[in-house]
Amino acid sequence: MRFAFTDDQKMLRDTVREVLQRECAPEIVRAVWEGRADGARTAWNTLAETGVIGMTASEEFGGMGMSELDLLLPLEETGYAAMPGPIVDTVAVGIPLLEAAGTDAQKERWLGPAAAGEVRIAVSFEGRGIVPHAASADVLIADRAGAAYCVPIDEASVHPERSVDRARELGSVSFEPAPSHRMREDVGTLGLFALGRERAALATAAQLVGLSRRMLDMAVLYAKDREQFGKPIGAQQAIKHRLANALIEQEFARPTVYRAGWSMATSARDAEVDVSLAKIYAGQAANFVAKAALQVHGAIGYTIECDLHMWMKRAWALAAAHGDSAFHRERIGRHIL
């Protein structure tokens, strides 16, 4: 029993943290919000150069063959930075699906370039026709009626939807399946897509942990800085207790997500229960911290001039994405009751 990341895993996290501090500052997120930049491309390219974008691809396709567990800390950092773009979709879900179920031609065209950061993957699970980053992605991976498809985005029709988090770049997606779109059927494709859903939930939970950390950092910084009644508002017990509660929520979500990553990486028994726990606690923590951070900021937090709102809205969206609390609690209920 050893519940800690390796030095290598922490080094990779530190690398991602530095890249995003430099290349995905709040102005970048804001620029994407305002439609002025396309998904933090500079940061995406640098992450690709450092191998993060391709980390789940095998060496044959230019990746590092890394596991769900290895993904968690880098993804947490992308949450911390509120990094725009389909990183969960491409790295955690799309690349592994493409590699496991893509035809040779599909892999040839998309997999190497995706691992190199040149193309981006959007994912549409059955029943989820509204797809994040549909417009800015290059290729769509989808399952419909028991079959799997890999569709160049310009062969699909994408109608923009508007998320409360403008950086989500939502689109409603449909496509006419063509033979060239079909993915392999001889590899247990349905099982692979089920696994993909688990990975999407886990990776989203990791981002939620990062979002929580950032919102708490913002609130603490503000509480130390902002003075009323002649002293920092953070000296007031009401503020202290609210932020202490936020920390507690966050600190219990974190190991829950890590546990789920280990369970998936080792194909542990009942891994989906651990994923559900991770998604619930990470989502609840992010929503809790968002509300606490807003309250601590007061009126300035209630404006879109203040950066907080971009993190808060991402948290709302991600807490409900890939299974909200009700969905995952029901899954756990079926397991234990």
Site for other proteins in 313-332 (CB under 8 A): 329, 332
Query: Is residue 10 near other proteins by the rule CB under 8 A?
Result: no
Length of the chain: 337
Query: Is residue 230 near other proteins by the rule CB under 8 A?
Result: no
Closest to 234 measured CA to CA, from 226, 223, 247, 219: 223
Whichever of 60 and 225 has its CB closer to other proteins, that residue is: 225
Binding mask 268-287 for other proteins (x = CB under 8 A): x--------x--xx------
In contact, 216 and 246? CB cutoff 8 Å: yes
Min dist CB 2 to other proteins, Å, is 5
Which strands, in side-by-side order, build the sheet including 139-144? 121-124, 139-144, 147-152
Q: Is 67 helix (H, G, I), strand (E, B) or coil?
A: coil
Q: How far apart are CA 154 and CA 215, in angstroms?
A: 37
Min dist CB 319 to other proteins, Å, is 16
Q: How far apart are CA 249 and CA 287, in angstroms?
A: 10
- How many residues bind other proteins (CB under 8 A)? The answer is 42
Q: Is 36 left (phi over 0), alpha (psi -120 to 50) or beta?
A: alpha
Identity at 203, one-letter amino acid code: A
Query: Is residue 3 near other proteins by the rule CB under 8 A?
Result: yes
In contact, 28 and 41? CB cutoff 8 Å: no
Min dist CB 248 to other proteins, Å, is 5
From candidates 21, 42, 228, 266, binder to other proteins by CB under 8 A: 266
Query: Is residue 256 near other proteins by the rule CB under 8 A?
Result: yes
Residues within the interface to other proteins (CB under 8 A): 1-6, 69, 216, 220, 223-224, 231-232, 234-235, 237, 239-241, 243-245, 247-248, 251-252, 255-256, 258-259, 262-263, 266, 268, 277, 280-281, 329, 332-333, 336-337
